[in-house]
């Protein structure tokens, strides 16, 4: 803190009427000035002190400073933001006065040395905000400023100068020539006295600051609170060319009570008014609630109880405020006495009554005091409720409404409304007896509608209303309503009864226990969900059937055997379908189905065997469990023959369910026996099988057939599933006894020979001679094989040739001829176009071979001979050797066989004849034909026993067949 000469001239002079009169006191900071007239002190809460400068005594003064005595701050010597305070001594003035001073702010490079601010501190209080300030560089010269201060006794104020260092920290801040003038300021205006303002809490306080002198509307006018808060003017109004009025609005809450003053500033100076007080009054409020003296249905009598209050008085008006507890509205009545009667209230209604007190001024009415909560009395209801109607009718509920309730009807807020209803329901057991359901329900207050739920559909409901309060009860008349139809209830699953067949199901059900209206339709849906037949796709498509309301049964047709169906049944009314009843029904399985269009022809045949083609059966509802080959002796009773005819059609009911081996059948006298039982895996496709091959199949001996008996061969398939057994069989072959067939063959051959002899004539003799010559040569050389060529036309032979053939046949038949054939079920068709046939004659050591043959079952059936196992003639094949003695027999067999192509050619032989020349087909049909047989060595070998036989018909068409002549 520097000690220096204090120069303060505070001289209280006698004011003169002229504006040119000089200052009464001053502080020039010169050495010869009176120290008693200029008192100042350095601040105690600043960062550094002001420096007293007298440039004429200092030899090294900066050239930037002007000459003279003044107080200075060198910004370059202090840090940025540091402050220095210079406080003048307190002044007491009872009127507006003017303080004049000069300031110097300069920096050589034009930067601001800092900021100079001026504070007016009143009665030792806070500094508040700065009333004037300046910053920047204003040139190397002094500038004069005026400060108009308005104070009134007993206030005192103190002028405080503050210098703060800028960020540039260059230049000087100085003050000089502080003078107290005894005339008003010329450069700035001054404020008229600012009076105190009193308002009630919650209102806006209005301050009006009147400035007189040199001023404009562009200059800022501020209202400063003692704590430094500044409020801007809400409006500025010019009263005359030298008078302005600034208006300020301050929200007056209890905490806003404080001192406020007006400030205006410009570059020429500033003006500060005196402090005025804002006084905030709190409106009065009663401490105790009013007291109830008496209550009635429409009124309440109360006592105000306003002896004790909180807040500020005086009380100039008393009021009561009342409202219903559950209502937003309220009313206020002025009260002239301490007792008051509140009229026009609602019966049995709770009210809240409070007292309001008012003091002078706007917003002087205080908050309502503690309320009195009281209720009026009730009255008996005026009448019963009316207008009961149904605004919505549904199958199981009724939405009812009635007239709105009012106090003129209920006469009480604590009323209750009861809704009673009844309806009849069929009693369990005997028809025609009804049970009545009765119930009363409470309706919520202030409600004029109600929903009756859980009602039975399509039923009459009787409803009445009752209005009741503590003082009485009124009941209305009964009104009848009828509920609508609803969807029917579900059909009881236990009522579903059914009878399954293999492709049909008969289903029956009962009507729903709760029809809920008039049943119009039944809907039945079914879908296959499981099947033991792998050929059935599950789940299958869902199908739907509709039935009339009086039909409670249905026959499902076209179903798959052995399939489980999910069946659903539901009833329908006009409102829709009801709940679905579900059940699962499995159809019975059916007998397997064979892929045979007609009775097939056997593949081959011998004395004791017959080869047939077995086709796998198609399971219906269940896979095939086993196959049986059944042999039936045709020479049985008439019953057996009738059954045979039926089995040809594949009727499963006339099949052979009782298994029996050949031995058991003979012992029991049964006409049939199982000759083989085959598993389904052994028959994946059509496979040849030889009946009588002397093998055993699953315990059944495939015994050789008796050549002297007629047999029927049946193929049988069995399906077993869940205790059900279904059998189907089909006749696949018939084997005639050898003696019957031989007799028929001889008769046929004799007729053919007679025709040949009568028609051949000379040509036949030539053919016979050639054939005999060839036979002699072959016998001589003992050859076993031959080849021959034939035409599909009949060859004419004479009686000698015929007799020779018959003689040779008898001789060969007398030999011990036997054969062994082994035929097994083939797993593939590799030998479909080949076969082998071995004949053993004259000796038992001849080579034996087996026959493997597969052909179409729909082709012709070859004729069987007792001494052969099969007919090896197939079109387009080369065949093994044939004995000469059997040549005619083989030719005859080819003519009548369906599978060799020769029969067709033979029969077409007569197509080219002249009808006029043909007399008889069986006799002499070759009479007019000319036949030529030419034998020559085969392969041009003169020693060869083989020869070619060519036949040329009349149409010059040649057909060639090769024979190997023994």
**Which pLDDT tens digit goes with each residue over 686-700?**
899 999 999 999 999
Q: Sign of the C-alpha dihedral, residues 251, 256, 258, 264?
A: negative
Quote the CA–CA distance of 325 and 371 in Å, as a whole number. Answer: 11
Q: Is 722 left (phi over 0), alpha (psi -120 to 50) or beta?
A: left
Question: What mean pLDDT comes out for the span 205-227?
Answer: 89
Mean pLDDT of the chain: 76
Q: 3-class DSSP state for residue 489?
A: coil
**750: left (phi > 0), else alpha (psi -120 to 50), else beta?**
alpha
- DSSP letter for 90, please: P
pLDDT in tens, 304-346: 988 889 988 899 999 999 999 888 889 999 998 889 999 988 8
pLDDT tens digits, residue range 552-596? 999 999 898 989 999 999 999 988 898 899 999 998 988 888 888
Residue 957, pLDDT > 80, answer no
Q: Determine the pLDDT at residue 116.
A: 96
Q: Could you give the 3-state DSSP secondary structure of residue 389?
A: strand
∠161-167-169 over CA atoms, to 5°? 75
pLDDT at site 819: 29
Whether 258 shows a pLDDT value over 60: the answer reads: yes
- For residue 72, give the nearest of 47, 54, 46, 90 by alpha carbon: 54
- 912-934 burial, b for 16+ CB within 10 Å, e for fewer? eeeeeeeeeeeebbbbebebebe
**Is the sign of the CA dihedral 399, 405, 409, 410 positive or negative?**
positive
Position 948 scores a pLDDT of: 41
What is the rounded distance in angstroms from the CA atom of residue 624 to the CA atom of residue 718?
Answer: 6
pLDDT value of residue 862: 41
869 — pLDDT class (breaks 50, 70, 90): very low
Question: Given pLDDT bands bounded at 50, 70 and 90, which one contains residue 66?
Answer: confident
Percentage of the chain surpassing pLDDT 70? 72
Q: Give the distance between the most distant pair of CA atoms in the chain.
A: 199
Give the separation between CA 151 and CA 93, rounded to whole angstroms: 6
The pLDDT value given to residue 307? 86
Q: Is residue 461 classed as helix, strand or coil in its secondary structure?
A: strand
- The CA distances from residue 887 to 47, 607, 680, 801, in Å, are 155, 20, 43, 11
Per-residue pLDDT, 911 = 41
CA 636 distance to own-chain centroid: 73
714 pLDDT higher than 60: yes
Q: Taking residues 863-877, what's their average pLDDT?
A: 41
Q: Which helix (H) or strand (E) is 586 found in, with range?
A: strand 581-586
Confidence of residue 138 (pLDDT cuts 50, 70, 90): very high
SS3 of 161-209: EEEEECCCCCCEEEEEEEEEECCCCCCCCEECCCCCEEEECCEEEEEEE
CB burial of residue 601 (10 Å; 0-12, 13-18, 19+): buried
Q: Which residues make Cβ contacts (< 8 Å) with residue 428, sequence separation at least 6?
A: none
Pick the most confident of 392-406, 524-538, 885-899: 392-406
3-state secondary structure of 801: helix
Q: 172 versus 56: which is more confidently predicted?
A: 172
Please state, as a whole number, how many other Cβ atoms lie within 10 Å of the Cβ of residue 804: 19
Residues 6+ apart with CB under 8 A from 20: none
Angle value at C-alpha 303, between 302 and 306, nearest 5 degrees:
140
Peptide bond into 636 cis (omega under 30): no
Residue 47 has a CB neighbour count (10 Å cut-off) of 14
- Order the strands of the 604-605 sheet from edge to edge: 604-605, 610-614, 687-691
- Let me know: does 872 contact 879? Beta carbons within 8 Å: yes
| pLDDT (0 to 100) of residue 887 | 63
* Spatial separation of the C-alpha atoms in residues 415 and 433, rounded to whole Å: 39
841: confidence class by pLDDT, cuts 50, 70, 90? very low
Beta-carbon contacts of residue 770 (< 8 Å; ≥ 6 apart) = 933, 935, 949
Residue 72 gets the label, from left (phi > 0), alpha (psi -120 to 50) or beta, of beta
> What is the reported pLDDT for 373?
95
**16 vs 42, residue with greater confidence:** 42
Give pLDDT, residue 38: 76
Q: Are strands 197-200 and 276-281 parallel, antiparallel or unpaired?
A: parallel
User: Span 706-735, mean pLDDT?
Assistant: 89
CA-to-CA separations, 512 to 37, 573, 577, 699, in angstroms, rounded: 123, 11, 12, 58
Tell whether the torsion through CA atoms of 641, 646, 648 and 654 is positive or negative. negative
**What average pLDDT score do residues 782-788 get?**
39
Give 348 or 82, the one with higher predicted confidence.
82
Q: Please indicate, yes or no, whether the overall pTM of this predicted structure exceeds 0.85.
A: no
pLDDT for residue 858:
30
User: pLDDT by residue (tens digit) across 365-396?
Assistant: 999 999 999 988 888 898 999 999 999 999 99
- Per-residue confidence at 222, pLDDT binned at 50, 70, 90? very high
DSSP H helices in 316-357: none
What is the SS3 assignment for 547? Answer: strand
């Amino acid at each position: 803190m520097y000690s220096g000469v204090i120069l303060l001239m505070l001289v209280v002079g006698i004011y003169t009427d002229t504006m040119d009169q000089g200052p009464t006191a001053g502080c020039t900071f010169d050495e010869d000035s009176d120290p008693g007239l200029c008192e100042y002190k350095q601040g105690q809460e600043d960062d550094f002190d002001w420096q007293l400068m007298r440039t004429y005594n200092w030899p090294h003064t900066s050239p930037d400073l002007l000459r003279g005595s003044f107080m200075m701050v060198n910004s370059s010597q202090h840090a940025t933001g540091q402050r220095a305070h210079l406080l003048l001594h307190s002044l007491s003035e009872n009127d507006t006065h003017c303080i004049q001073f000069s300031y110097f702010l300069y920096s050589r490079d034009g930067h601001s040395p800092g900021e100079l601010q001026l504070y007016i501190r009143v009665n030792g209080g806070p500094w508040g905000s700065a009333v004037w300030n300046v910053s920047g560089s204003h040139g190397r010269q002094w500038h004069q400023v005026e400060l108009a201060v308005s104070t009134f006794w007993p206030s005192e104020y103190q002028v405080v100068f503050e210098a703060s260092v800028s960020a540039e920290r260059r230049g000087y801040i100085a003050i000089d020539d502080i003078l107290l003038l005894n005339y008003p300021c010329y450069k700035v205006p001054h404020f008229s006295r600012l009076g105190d303002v009193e308002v009630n809490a919650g209102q806006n306080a209005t301050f009006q600051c009147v400035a007189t002198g040199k001023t404009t509307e562009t200059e800022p006018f501020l209202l400063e609170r003692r704590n430094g808060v500044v409020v801007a003017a809400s409006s500025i109004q010019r009263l005359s060319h030298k008078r302005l009025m600034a208006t300020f609005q301050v929200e007056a809450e209890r905490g806003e009570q404080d001192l406020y003053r007006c400030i205006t500033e410009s570059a020429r100076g500033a003006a500060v008014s005196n402090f005025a007080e804002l006084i905030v009054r709190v409106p009065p409020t009663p401490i105790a609630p009013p007291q109830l003296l008496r209550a009635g249905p429409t009124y309440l009598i109360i006592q105000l109880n306003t002896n004790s209050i909180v807040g500020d008085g005086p009380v100039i008006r008393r009021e009561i405020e009342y409202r219903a507890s559950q209502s937003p509205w309220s009313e206020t009545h002025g009260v002239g006495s301490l007792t008051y009667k509140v009229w026009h209230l609602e019966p049995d209604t709770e009210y809240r009554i409070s007292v309001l007190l008012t003091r002078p001024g706007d917003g002087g009415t205080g908050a309502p005091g503690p309320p009195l909560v009281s209720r009026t009395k009730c009255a008996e209801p005026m009448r019963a409720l009316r207008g009961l109607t149904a605004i919505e009718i549904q199958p199981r509920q009724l939405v009812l409404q009635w007239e709105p309730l009012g106090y003129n009807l209920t006469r009480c807020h604590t009323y209750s409304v009861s809704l009673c209803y009844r309806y009849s329901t069929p009693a369990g057991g005997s028809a025609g007896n009804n049970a009545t359901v009765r119930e009363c329900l409470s309706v919520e207050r202030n409600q004029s509608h109600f929903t009756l739920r859980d009602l039975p559909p399509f039923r009459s409901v009787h409803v009445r209303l009752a209005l009741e309060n503590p003082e009485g009860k009124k009941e209305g008349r009964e009104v009848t309503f009828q509920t609508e139809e609803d969807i029917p209830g579900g059909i009881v699953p236990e009522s579903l009864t059914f009878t399954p067949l293999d492709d049909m199901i008969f289903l029956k059900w009962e009507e729903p226990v709760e029809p809920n209206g008039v049943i119009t339709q039944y809907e039945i849906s079914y879908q296959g969900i499981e099947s033991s037949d792998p050929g059935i796709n599950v789940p299958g498509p869902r199908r739907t059937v509709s039935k009339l309301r009086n039909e409670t049964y249905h026959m499902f047709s076209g179903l798959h055997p052995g399939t489980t169906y999910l069946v659903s049944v539901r009833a329908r009314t006009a409102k829709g379908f009801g709940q679905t009843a579900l059940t699962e029904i499995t159809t019975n399985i059916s007998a397997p189905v064979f892929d045979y269009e007609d009775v097939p022809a056997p593949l081959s045949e011998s004395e004791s065997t017959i080869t047939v083609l077995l086709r796998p059966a198609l399971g219906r509802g269940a896979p095939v469990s086993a196959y049986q080959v059944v042999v039936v002796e045709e020479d049985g009773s008439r019953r057996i023959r009738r059954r045979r005819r039926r089995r040809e059609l594949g009727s499963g009911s006339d099949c052979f369910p009782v298994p029996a081996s050949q031995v058991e059948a003979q012992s029991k006298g049964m006409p049939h026996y199982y000759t083989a039982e085959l598993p389904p895996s052994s028959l994946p496709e059509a496979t040849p099988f030889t009946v009588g091959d002397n093998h055993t199949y699953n315990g059944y001996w495939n015994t050789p057939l008796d050549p002297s008996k007629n047999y029927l061969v049946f193929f049988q398939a069995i399906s077993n599933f869940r205790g059900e057994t279904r059998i189907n069989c089909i006749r696949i072959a018939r084997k005639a006894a050898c003696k019957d067939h031989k007799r028929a063959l001889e008769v046929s051959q004799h007729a053919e020979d007679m025709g040949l002899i009568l028609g051949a004539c000379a040509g036949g003799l030539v053919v016979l001679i050639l054939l005999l010559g060839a036979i002699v040569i072959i016998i001589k050389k003992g050859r076993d094989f031959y080849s021959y060529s034939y035409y599909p036309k009949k060859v004419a032979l004479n009686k000698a040739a015929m007799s020779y053939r018959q003689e040779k046949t008898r001789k060969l038949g007398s030999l011990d001829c036997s054969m062994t054939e082994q035929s097994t079920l083939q797993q593939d068709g590799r030998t479909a176009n080949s076969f082998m046939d071995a004949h053993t004659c004259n000796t038992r050591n001849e080579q034996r071979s087996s026959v493997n043959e597969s052909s179409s079952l729909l082709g012709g059936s070859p004729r069987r001979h007792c001494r052969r196992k099969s007919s090896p003639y197939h079109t387009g094949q080369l065949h093994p050797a044939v004995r000469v003695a059997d040549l005619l027999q083989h030719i005859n067999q080819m003519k009548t066989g369906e599978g060799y192509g020769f029969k067709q050619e033979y029969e077409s032989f007569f197509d080219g004849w002249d009808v006029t020349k043909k007399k008889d087909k069986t006799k002499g049909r070759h009479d007019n034909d000319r036949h030529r047989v030419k034998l020559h060595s085969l392969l041009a070998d003169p020693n060869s026993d083989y020869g070619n036989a060519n036949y040329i018909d009349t149409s010059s068409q040649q057909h060639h067949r090769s024979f190997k002549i023994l």
